[in-house]
Every structure is written in structure tokens, then in C-alpha cells.
């Protein structure tokens, strides 16, 4: 169905950090016509990056860009900017995010929302002083149609007694020892969390949203590739954790169950595999971006046959689009849907057209508690209770 004319409120954005993710946002904003029945639209009017070539791409590709800055503080003085998307290395999150919030701009910030727990606490304190500013953390995978439907089943209590949950996010490009080092392998820029800070918020977003907060954690962390080419003919030490398996216990009013969370930079064969598996007495279900069309599930009633079903889920996420339901959904679609959720919340607040919001700062803060406890668990070789 082609929608009628709907007035769209423009939200004027500045982008701080014009790298991989900054460009993804620009591409999502450029195809806003994909979305139907939304009364908001982003317009990127300013960008900031100290590297001129990074900002240059925006100058060339994004006609709405009117201001290019090399210092984000200058951008924050611009009164025309309503909101900021910030995608910079982790050691810069605390300073830049707090300055954005203090300037009164709404913020979609990239995970992990601070390089460590102390940095995250500074961001949370600034948020508390500016309740008028909407702050959210980027996490797009719950907007895949299969994940979105799985989330609705959790919200509707369809699983019965939960027996176990497993959630993970696996990459594999670091299997190649010749891949040059980058900021994600260094503690100073990525943080001691390593792969947990890099990938962990993605894994925790849905569990935390549905109240599955780890009570304690036993971590098994691994460093496998010790050094990498430094890009100047030499080798540089890799300092951060490559892989993490966190065995946690969840204790809710409805019951207790184990939840295994894994984040891996070296999972052979996995390019960007995000998955969630929920096993319950009435229903079990699993979604993985490895098979992005498919949702596997097994309803069960006592005495009935136990048979898994696999369905090709239609292209139906949080916000309706012009794409026909038979077509496939992909990474850039999930980014578009996440952006719609952020803009919807800025414009419509409690009256969003659907209720799944982007990850909240409180969820990001909980993820820091999990990662900090995981580091302690690894150091001590024991299970650590979350404070
Ligand atoms: N949501 C996702 O799926 C996803 C995927 C990848 C990365 N990320 C996150 O996005 C953030 C950025 O990662 P990336 O992969 O885009 O990195 P990137 O290295 O591709 O880009 C970072 C950009 O920030 C710029 N920058 C550095 N200092 C700056 C400053 N002071 N002011 C403005 N810009 C500055 C760099 O020049 C670079 O262009 C990180 O927090 C990362 O964890 C999220």
C-alpha cells in the first residue's frame, strides 16, 4: 500500500566521527523514503572529523551537509543542530558524549558508552543532569525481523519456564594473523574489555530489555593473536581480549536460569554472526544473522511431538517500509530501522508508533557492570557477583 502524504518533522543532525559507522548513518538517512507512515526524518547538516579525507566523503556524498568541522566543540556551538550521532573510538566516548549532552543535543552514541565503568559513570551523571536530552546507545540487531518477532514472543511470555538463554556476537576477520593492527586491539583506545566492549552491548541489549540481568558471572577470556603488522613494516603487540565466554545466572521473579553470553573476534567462519537462542518449556526459538531470513522455533505442549519449525520471516520490522514482504532484510536495513526508532522517540517520546526503543543508557551501564565483573572473574578465576 502506498501511504498518503504525511508531514515529517525534520531533525537536524551533526555526525561526530566520519568513519565506518558515520557513513552507515549517512546512507540510512539518504534512503529515508524507504520508510512509510513515519512523521520524522533526519537531515545531516554538519559533520566533524579531524581526518580531512573522512569528512570529505560526506562533502561529496551528502548534499545536506552545510558545515564541516575538525573540532567537535565548534560543532556543538551550532544552534541549528538538534541531535548528534557520535561514532568515535572508545577512549573518546566519555568526554565527547558528556559535552554533547551538556550542549543540549539529543545523542545516539555508539557502544560501549565509555571505555570502562568510570567513563560510563561520567556519562550517566551528565545524563542525570539533563533529563530533557534523549540519549540512546546504538544497537541494531534486534530490528532484524526474526529477532524482532522473537522479542515480541518474550514480551508476551510465550516461552513458559525459561530453561536457558544463549546470546552471542561472533566475528572472524582476526583469524588472519596478517590483518594489520587497529585501535580495537589496543587498551588505550578500545579499553581493557577488548571484545566485550566492542561487541557485548549488542549481545546484552535484548536480554536486558526483557529483564534478564545477570546476577553473577564466570568469565573465560582468551587472547590468541599476540602481535600484528603495524602498517609500517614492523609488528605491534595486541593487548585486548579476542574472545569472551561469560557464563551467567539470571534470577527473576519467574525463576532462575543460566545465560551464556559470548563475544568473539576470532570465531572461524563467522563474518558478523549475532544470535539469540531462548529455550523454554512452552516454546524454544533461535534467530541468527547467519541465516537472516530464518527463525527456528519449537512450540510444545505436554505429550506432544517435539518438532522444530523453520520459517522464512517476512520483511517486517519495527517500521513499515516500501519493501515487499517476500524480500530479504540485511544489515543496512537494521541500521535504518534503529534510526527510525531513535527519531521516533525524539519526536513522539511516549507515543512512538511501536514500543521497542534503541538501547538505553541504563542498559549500557548494566553492560559495563557485566564486563567489569567479567574482568575480575578472569583475574581471580572465580564467579563474581554483580554489585
Ligand atoms: N553498531 C555497530 O554495528 C558498530 C559497528 C562498528 C563500530 N561501532 C562503534 O562505532 C564507534 C566507531 O567505530 P568505527 O568502526 O566507525 O570506527 P572508525 O575508526 O571507522 O571511525 C572512527 C572515526 O572517528 C574519527 N575521530 C577520531 N577522533 C575524533 C574526534 N576527536 N572527533 C571526531 N572524530 C574523531 C576518526 O578519524 C574516524 O574517522 C565505536 O564506538 C565502535 O564500537 C558500532
C-alpha 156 – ligand 1 centre gap (Å): 36
| Residue 302: alpha-carbon gap to chain centroid | 37
* C-alpha cell of residue 174: 582476526
Per-residue pLDDT reduced to its tens digit, 103-133: 999 999 999 999 999 999 999 999 999 999 9
For residue 257, pLDDT beyond 90:
yes
Please name the residue ranges forming H helices in the chain. 20-30, 52-61, 72-76, 93-102, 117-129, 145-155, 187-190, 195-209, 331-348, 361-380
Prediction pTM value: 0.96
Backbone CA torsion sign across 361, 35, 318, 330: negative
Residue matched to cell numbers 522455533:
297
How does residue 346 score in pLDDT terms, banded at 50, 70 and 90? very high
* Domain span(s) for CATH 3.30.360.10 in the chain: 142-385
C-alpha 259 – ligand 1 centre gap (Å): 30
Q: Which of 151, 154, 15 is nearest to 84 (CA)?
A: 15
Question: Cα–Cα distance between 356 and 182 in angstroms, integer?
Answer: 34
**CATH match of 142-385 with 3.40.1500.10:** no
**Which residue's CA is the nearest one to ligand 1's atom 15?**
20
Per-residue pLDDT reduced to its tens digit, 206-234: 999 999 999 999 999 999 999 999 999 99
**Contacts with 169 (C-beta within 8 Å, 6 or more apart), sequence order:** 141, 199, 200, 202, 203, 262, 263, 264, 273, 274, 275
One DSSP character per residue, 153-192 reads HHHTTTT-SEEEEEEEEE--GGG-TTSPP-GGG-HHHH-T
Percent of the chain with pLDDT over 90: 98
The CATH homologous superfamily to which domain 9-137 belongs is NAD(P)-binding Rossmann-like Domain (3.40.50.720)
Residue matched to cell numbers 566520519:
18
The answer to whether residues 172 and 220 touch, using CB atoms and an 8 Å cutoff, is no
Backbone CA torsion sign across 186, 187, 189, 193: positive
C-alpha 52 – ligand 1 centre gap (Å): 15
Q: What is the mean pLDDT of the segment spanning 168-178?
A: 96
Per-residue pLDDT reduced to its tens digit, 352-375: 999 999 999 999 999 999 999 999
- Ligand 1 neighbours, Cβ below 6 Å, are 16-21, 48-51, 54, 72, 87-90, 92, 110-111, 138, 140, 198
C-alpha 222 – ligand 1 centre gap (Å): 24
For residue 59, pLDDT beyond 80:
yes
**Which residue's CA is the nearest one to ligand 1's atom 38?**
19
Mutate to test the pocket of ligand 1, among 49, 72, 182, 183 (most ligand atoms within 8 A of CB): 49
Mutate to test the pocket of ligand 1, among 19, 84, 136, 195 (most ligand atoms within 8 A of CB): 19
For residue 2, pLDDT beyond 60:
no
The ligand 1 atom at the shortest distance from the C-alpha of residue 51 is 37
Burial level of 226, CB count in 10 A (0-12/13-18/19+)? exposed
Per-residue pLDDT reduced to its tens digit, 262-301: 999 999 999 999 999 999 999 999 999 999 999 999 999 9
**Which residue's CA is the nearest one to ligand 1's atom 4?**
21
Output phi, psi for 281, to 5 deg: -75, -30
Q: What is the mean pLDDT of the segment spanning 66-89?
A: 98
What are the C-alpha distances in Å from 367 to residues 10, 197, 359?
Answer: 32, 9, 11
What are the residues facing 243 on neighbouring strands? Answer: 222, 264
**How confident is the prediction for the chain on average, in pLDDT?**
96
C-alpha 49 – ligand 1 centre gap (Å): 10
For residue 1, pLDDT beyond 60:
no
pLDDT value of residue 5? 62
C-alpha 336 – ligand 1 centre gap (Å): 18
**Which residue's CA is the nearest one to ligand 1's atom 18?**
19
pLDDT value of residue 6? 75
C-alpha 18 – ligand 1 centre gap (Å): 7
C-alpha 25 – ligand 1 centre gap (Å): 12
Per-residue pLDDT reduced to its tens digit, 13-56: 999 999 999 999 999 999 999 999 999 999 999 999 999 999 99
* C-alpha cell of residue 327: 524480500
* Domain span(s) for CATH 3.40.50.720 in the chain: 9-137
**Contacts with 159 (C-beta within 8 Å, 6 or more apart), sequence order:** 153, 278, 279, 280, 281, 282, 283, 284, 285
**Bridge-based pairing state of the strands 40-48 and 67-69:** parallel
**Which residue's CA is the nearest one to ligand 1's atom 21?**
19
| Residue 207: alpha-carbon gap to chain centroid | 13
The ligand 1 atom at the shortest distance from the C-alpha of residue 198 is 43
The ligand 1 atom at the shortest distance from the C-alpha of residue 140 is 1
The answer to whether residues 137 and 124 touch, using CB atoms and an 8 Å cutoff, is no
Angle at 309 between CA 282 and CA 356, to 5 degrees: 65
**Which residue's CA is the nearest one to ligand 1's atom 10?**
87
How does residue 7 score in pLDDT terms, banded at 50, 70 and 90? confident
C-alpha 20 – ligand 1 centre gap (Å): 7
C-alpha 125 – ligand 1 centre gap (Å): 23
Amino acid at each position: 500500500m502506498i501511504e498518503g502524504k504525511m508531514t515529517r518533522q525534520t531533525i537536524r543532525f551533526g555526525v561526530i566521527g566520519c568513519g565506518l559507522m558515520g557513513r552507515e548513518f549517512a546512507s540510512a538517512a539518504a534512503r529515508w523514503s524507504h520508510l512509510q507512515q513515519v512523521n520524522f526524518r533526519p537531515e545531516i547538516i554538519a559533520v566533524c572529523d579531524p581526518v580531512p579525507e573522512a569528512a570529505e566523503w560526506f562533502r561529496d556524498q551528502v548534499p545536506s551537509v552545510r558545515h564541516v568541522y575538525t573540532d567537535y566543540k565548534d560543532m556543538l556551538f551550532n544552534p541549528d543542530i538538534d541531535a548528534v550521532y557520535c561514532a568515535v573510538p572508545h577512549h573518546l566516548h566519555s568526554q565527547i558524549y558528556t559535552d554533547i549532552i551538556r550542549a543540549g543535543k539529543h545523542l545516539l552514541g555508539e557502544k560501549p558508552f565509555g571505555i570502562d565503568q568510570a567513563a560510563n559513570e561520567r556519562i550517566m551523571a551528565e545524563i542525570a543532569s539533563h533529563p530533557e536530552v534523549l540519549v540512546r546507545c546504538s544497537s541494531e540487531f534486534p530490528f532484524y525481523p526474526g529477532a524482532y518477532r522473537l522479542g515480541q514472543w518474550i514480551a508476551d511470555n510465550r516461552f513458559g519456564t525459561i530453561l536457558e538463554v544463549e546470546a552471542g556476537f561472533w566475528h572472524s576477520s582476526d583469524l588472519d594473523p596478517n590483518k594489520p593492527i587497529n585501535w580495537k586491539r589496543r587498551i588505550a583506545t578500545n579499553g581493557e574489555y577488548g571484545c566485550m566492549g566492542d561487541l557485548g552491548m549488542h549481545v546484552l541489549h535484548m536480554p536486558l530489555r526483557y529483564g534478564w540481568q545477570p546476577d553473577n558471572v564466570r568469565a573465560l577470556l582468551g587472547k590468541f593473536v599476540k602481535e600484528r603488522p603495524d602498517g609500517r613494516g614492523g609488528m605491534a603487540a595486541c593487548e585486548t581480549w579476542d574472545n569472551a565466554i561469560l557464563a551467567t545466572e539470571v534470577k527473576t521473579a519467574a525463576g532462575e536460569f543460566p545465560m551464556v553470553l559470548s563475544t568473539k573476534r576470532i570465531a572461524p567462519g563467522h563474518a558478523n554472526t549475532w544470535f539469540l537462542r531462548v529455550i523454554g518449556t512452552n516454546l524454544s526459538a533461535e534467530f541468527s544473522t547467519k541465516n537472516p531470513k530464518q527463525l527456528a522455533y519449537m512450540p510444545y505442549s505436554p505429550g506432544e511431538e517435539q518438532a522444530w519449525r523453520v520459517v522464512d520471516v517476512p520483511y517486517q520490522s519495527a517500521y513499515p517500509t516500501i519493501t515487499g514482504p517476500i524480500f530479504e532484510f540485511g544489515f543496512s536495513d537494521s541500521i535504518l530501522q534503529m534510526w527510525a526508532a531513535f527519531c521516533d522517540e525524539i519526536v513522539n517520546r511516549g507515543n512512538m508508533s511501536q514500543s521497542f526503543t534503541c538501547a538505553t543508557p541504563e542498559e549500557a551501564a548494566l553492560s559495563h557492570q557485566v564486563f567489569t565483573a567479567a574482568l575480575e572473574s578472569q583475574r581471580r578465576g572465580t564467579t563474581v557477583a554483580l554489585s
